[in-house]
Amino acid sequence: MKKYEKNKIKEVVCNRCGKRIAVEHGIAEEEVFHVEKRWGYFSKKDMKKDSFDLCEKCYDEVTAEFVIPVETKEEIEFFPC
């Protein structure tokens, strides 16, 4: 989970394993997989918003259990969000 202070990332912790990701000058020093989901009308979670972060190791372990694998494509150029 990312924690912010004055609009800068202060801390990043993997929600699954608890690993702390180093943060330097408001920037995480490792990639994390961030998920944010707003639940809608056809859900038992209607009007709720869930969010979490996974370190790369946990992302690999979780997605390895998928029945249908993650679709991966090579990128020629990368434009961070």
Residue 46 lies in a domain: yes
Q: Note whether 37 and 51 are within 8 A (CB).
A: yes
Residue 72 lies in a domain: no
Query: Tokens 């020093």 correspond to what residue?
Result: 29
Residue 60 lies in a domain: yes
pLDDT: which is higher, 59 or 42? 59
CA distance 62 to 59: 5
Residue 69 lies in a domain: no
Residue 79 lies in a domain: no
* pLDDT tens column, 35-46: 999 999 888 889
Q: Where residue 80 falls among pLDDT bands split at 50, 70, 90?
A: low
What are the tokens at 81?
Answer: 């969000």
pLDDT at 81 over 70: no
**Residue range of the domain that includes 28:** 2-64
pLDDT: which is higher, 11 or 78? 11
Residue 39 lies in a domain: yes
pLDDT: which is higher, 67 or 27? 67
Residue 29 lies in a domain: yes
Structurally, the chain folds into a number of domains equal to 1
Residue 59 lies in a domain: yes
What are the tokens at 31?
Answer: 């990639």
